[in-house]
Structures are given as structure tokens and as C-alpha cells.
A and B are shown apart, each in its own frame.
Chain A
Amino acid sequence: MAAPCVSCGAAASYRLFLAGRVSFAREQGLWKAAAAGLQTGTRCQILRLKHSPAVTTKKNVAALRRESYTVDFIKKQIEEFNIGKRHLANMMGEDPETFTQEDIDRAITYLFPSGLFEKRARPIMKHPEEIFPKQRAIQWGEDGRPFHFLFYTGKQSYYSLMHEAYGKVLHVEERQDQLRAKGLFSEKPKTKDPIGSRWLIKEELEEMLVEKLSDQDYAQFIRLLERLSALPCDAAEEEFVGRFRRTVTVQSKKHLIEPLQYDEQGMAFSTGRGNAPWRRGKRKTANAEAVVHGHGSGKIEINGVDYLLYFPVTQDREQLMFPFHFLDRLGKHDVTCTVSGGGRSSQAGAIRLAVARALCSFITEDEVEWMRQAGLLTTDPRVRERKKPGQEGARRKFTWKKR
């Protein structure tokens, strides 16, 4: 169905371009359309775009044409990759037969340590399929006649996929009609688990078909698949639909809950401390470690000082109370914690996080999930934004003077 993803054209030259892309002058209309589109866009981010002056350069004709690789070139690259993999395994003293991609990554980071911040700029060694973009073979024969009957639509893989899906829908409906005519049809409601899988997104579909799609095309395709999945299908159709579904991870599984520890008196306690960084509490530049005791009277001690003296502001004390109040365990635990760095509000936030993480050991998994959904178990990633040159602050610009 999808065209074989192989490079095209014997006459194409395969120059590797490491330089950035050339930008062209764009019309004003594009910017306006984009700005209008963004008004109705995502609700959680306010995007205010400003138009940056476009750079016009001499038209580099060679750079315009997309790099294309021949079949032989890709094959040679794959051979070189496999030989290189064996050499690497030998160098590292491992077995070349069972050398996986993770081993390759580890070996490369060991042999070529890089201090670059951008992870994508560091040396990598991956299979050529992942590095060179997928391309299509020539779609027509010697006489110029295209192979696929839908070639002149422009998006042959997409339309052939739609054609196939619609064919399946008609087939299922025909089968339903036959059953109804015989009287054997039973109205069975379809049970599908609501969450657990999702339709693949437009980018994934484009990658699968090696074709550019528009949003309307994608919408149409998903509607058709929904229609197909709503009908009673047999195994072949289910498999066809399953090709376009991806599993969704459940977030709560990612948390690791430390088991309770017991001290000399046999009382349970749990720490928000430990070697793993996610056990502590952090907010801006404040770091906190908390020990929560199982049986207590609601006493909180911070750096050896009572919480009422350490946090004279009500808001900070409310933040300390938040995890306990959420779990209805207000007077039942004792907390001893140490905190350093940051200001008063960030220290309170850091202690809140450490206490919430320590409390995870005392409660059920459901309650852990509730705490996560209340935002108690997430480290706040907001930090102070740096000042930029040419501006007075992070966002504030210098006073604009006309002359």
C-alpha cells in the first residue's frame, strides 16, 4: 500500500548538508493567517508571535533541491554500520552477536565524551534507516506510465488507504445486511476500553505513508476509522484498525514508592531523602529533605525550629498543611525536615514536595494517584528566567526613545 521508501533517481546527487536551511521572503498573508489561527489555538499557552524580518539570500539552487540518496548508497551505509558495530563490540570486549543499540549508545558516550549541551549535537551511531530520511522510489516506469492507479491524485498512499478502509466498511455492512436478512443478526454493543490506546497523530501517519497530509485529510481518515471500529468487525478488520492505534502510558505507574522503614521503637517512618534525586523536595533553588513519622501529633520541625517560628506567614504554613489536609491526616504525623536555599515561599514549596513524597509510603496507590492529580507530587519546573543582553530584565525592554 505505501510506496517503498527508497531513494529516487539515478541522476540525483546526494550531497550531505550540515548547514542550516535557507529562509525565503514570506508573504504577509501567511503571518496573518497564522496569527488568526493561533487565537483559536491551545488554551494553556498564550502565544504572542512577532514577525521577524525574513532573510533573503542568493537562491542556492543546489540547496533548494532536497538531498536524495540512491539505493546503493543506503545499502553501503547499512553494511558499514554493521561492520562498525562488530568492530565496536570487539573494542569494548563484548560479544558482537548480541550487541544491541543501547550497548552501542553506551560505547559511543564512553569513547567520545562530549560536553555539548544540545543532546542532538553529540556523536551518535544509529542504523541508517533512522538517520537518512525515508524517500520514495520513482513512481513511474520506463514509458512514463505510473505504477499506482491513484498516482494522479497526488497523495496515492493516503487515498489508497482511504479506499481500503471504506471497502472494509462496505464489506462489514454487507455482511450485517446478509445476517439481518437471515434473521441471525444480534445487536451486540461494542465494548472498547475508553483509555489505553489512542489514534496515531498526524505526524505519525505522515511518517507511515511518507506523504504530506493536511489536517482535513487526517480528520477524514480518523472519522472513517471510527466508523469502522463502531461496527461489529472480525479479526482481519480489527487488525487493520489496530495498526493505527498506539498505546497510552498511565502516568501513575512511573512513580516508585519506597517501602516504610521502622526505627528502634518499632514506629514507622518514611524519608523524603535518599540517593535518588526524586525523593527529595525542590523548588527554585531551595532543597528540602523530610522525615515523616507514622505516629505523631502534627508537630513539624524545620532545621531544629518549630514551624510556627520558621514560617511566620500564613500562606507558607498552609502549604505545609496541604498534603496532610488532602489525605485527612492532619494531626497524625510528625515531621522533621531540613531545608536550605531559596526564599521563604520556595522553601515552603520544597518542604511540601518532600513531605508529599514521604507520605506516599503510608497511603494506598489510589491516594497516590489523587495526590499526583492534585499537583502535589510534581516538581515545579519554573525557575528564574535569565536577563538577556539588550533588555533591562528577562522580559522588560529598555525605554523606547523615538530619537
Chain B
Amino acid sequence: MAAPTVKVALGWSGLGLGVRRAALRLPGLVQVRWSRYGPEYQDPQTDKEYYRKPLAQLTEEETYERELRKTQVIKAAPATKTCSVFEDPVISKFTNMMMKGGNKILARSLMTQTLEAVKRKQFEKYHAASAEEQATIERNPYTIFHQALKNCEPVIGLVPILKGGHFYQVPVPLADRRRRFLAMKWMITECREKKPRRMLMPEKLSQELLEAFYNRGPVIKRKHDMHKMAEANRALAHYRWW
């Protein structure tokens, strides 16, 4: 019973079981960002397989987790989430970042056109290549997309820190989500700004994705520039206090 006891010990300090903790109220301070959901609401779990798993196969921790979720209030699933196998959280996030002015329809169609363009290009290469090369050519646009973004992720970043009246660019390790965000942001900025006038976004984006997949291209160069700057400023690393 060690695991549940530990969980319970952790549970009370955080969001308690079925208990509404009053939001932090401090005198002289006004809460600026709030949510329509109270703090006790948990995020929904839309994965079908999670529920279909037979009870006999669950570990003790998972059984405890299940029991706990039965007592919690759950938020409504957002309009972009389904239990479909075709849904990809990375693609959804990228689509949202490409979106302008709330035009999700346009962003999503651009995304599908991009993936189609990637697939077409790879198939052309496949049909034009010899038998040995055909084995090395990747045709699944989703794997290309994921791999390209992974290749673009920087490992270390720079943060301006104020010391002695001057701002110094200090190298700092980045969290996973920050890295993913930077990779996507660089990719989108690159495609928006550095393309010839009449070239459409899907075409340019597919081109950049393929180049990033093979570790060449401007986005990879930008990542390397960031790494070089961090290497150059490594003397300032001790300015970081966290």
C-alpha cells in the first residue's frame, strides 16, 4: 500500500480529491487571467485504448489513477480533439500556429495541401530512383513532418539576463515544449518571409520540411547559429541562477 499512501500524501498538498481549493487571494493583488472552469476541473482523456484496457492488466498505480478520476470533475473536450486515429497533436499545434485571424479552415487546408505536396514530391523521387535508393526514400508525410521538426529543435537557447545595468545573452537549457515551439516558429517564419512572391505556402513549406528532414536548409542553419552563439557565450553561463 506504499504507492497509494504516497499518492495520498501528495494529493492533499495539490488539488485535493473533490475539494475546491479557493484560488490564491492576496491583498493588494488583482487576478488578471482566469478560466471559466474552476481549479478542480481536470483535462479530459480522449484516447479510446486507455479505457478499453482490461482491468487485470493494470498496475496498482493505474488502478489508483482510475479510481481517482472517478471522483474528479472533467472539462469538456475542445472542438479540435477527437478520438480519431488520424488526429496528431503536433499537426494540430502547427496548424494553430499557422492560423491567422482565427481562420482555422484556411490553416487546415494549407496543412493538408502541404502534406500532400510532400507526399507527391517523395513519390516522384521514388519512381525516378533505382531499387537500392527506393528503400531509403521515406514516403509517409507524417514521419517526414515529425522528423523535420525534431531536426530543427535547438538544444540550448539564449536568455537576456540583466546584470550590472547590461543585458547579457546567457546560454540556458531549454524545456521540451520550448524547443518544439521554437522549431515550429522558425519554420513558419522562414516560410512566410523568405519565399518568392508568387510561391504559395504549401509549396514553400513542403520544400522546407523536406530540406529539414535531410538536415539542410535555412531552418537548420538557424538552429546551428543559435548553438554557435550559445557556445560563444559559454563564459556567461554562470549568470544563470536556476
- Does chain B have a CB within 8 A of A100? no
Interface mask (B1-29 → A, CB under 8 Å = 1, otherwise 0): 10011001101111111110111101111
Q: Which of B8, B69, B80 has the most CB of A within 10 A?
A: B8
Chain A nearest CB from B44 CB (Å) reads: 3
* Stretch with Cβ within 8 A of A (4 or more), from B35-43, B139-147, B198-206: B35-43
- Does chain B have a CB within 8 A of A19? no
In the complex, what distance in Å separates the CA atom of A50 from the CA atom of B43? 27
In the complex, what distance in Å separates the CA atom of A345 from the CA atom of B108? 15
Residues on A with C-beta less than 8 A from B130 are none
Closest to A34 in B: B26
Tell me if A198 and B16 are in contact (CB < 8 A).
Answer: yes
- Does chain A have a CB within 8 A of B79? yes
Q: A45-B39, A195-B71, A199-B8 are in contact. Are A374 and B30 (CB under 8 A)?
A: no
- Does chain B have a CB within 8 A of A9? no
State which of A52, A189, A318 has its C-beta within 8 Å of the C-beta of B30: A52
In the complex, what distance in Å separates the CA atom of A372 from the CA atom of B41? 12
- Does chain B have a CB within 8 A of A272? no
In the complex, what distance in Å separates the CA atom of A54 from the CA atom of B75? 36
- Does chain B have a CB within 8 A of A275? no
Closest to A46 in B: B33
Q: Which of A38, A199, A321 has the most CB of B within 10 A?
A: A199
Count A-B contacts at CB 8 Å: 174
Tell me if B28 and A23 are in contact (CB < 8 A).
Answer: yes
Residues on B with C-beta less than 8 A from A378 are 44, 73-76
State which of B8, B16, B22, B32 has its C-beta within 8 Å of the C-beta of A49: B32
* Stretch with Cβ within 8 A of B (4 or more), from A73-81, A109-117, A124-132, A247-255: A247-255
Number of chain B residues whose Cβ lies closer than 8 Å to a Cβ of chain A: 61
Closest to A379 in B: B76
In the complex, what distance in Å separates the CA atom of A50 from the CA atom of B46? 36
Chain B nearest CB from A257 CB (Å) reads: 16
Chain B nearest CB from A99 CB (Å) reads: 31
State which of B14, B19, B29, B104 has its C-beta within 8 Å of the C-beta of A198: B19
- List residues of chain A with CB under 8 Å of any chain B CB: 23, 26, 30-31, 34, 37-38, 41-42, 44-52, 54, 189-192, 194-195, 198-199, 201, 203, 219, 222-223, 226, 230, 248-252, 313-315, 318-319, 321-322, 325-326, 345, 348-349, 353, 369-370, 372-376, 378-383
Closest 8 CB pairs of A and B: A375-B44, A375-B77, A380-B76, A378-B76, A195-B67, A49-B29, A198-B17, A370-B51
CB-defined A-B contacts under 8 Å, sample of 13:
A48-B33, A52-B29, A199-B12, A201-B12, A219-B13, A251-B72, A313-B105, A315-B108, A322-B77, A369-B70, A373-B45, A374-B44, A381-B76
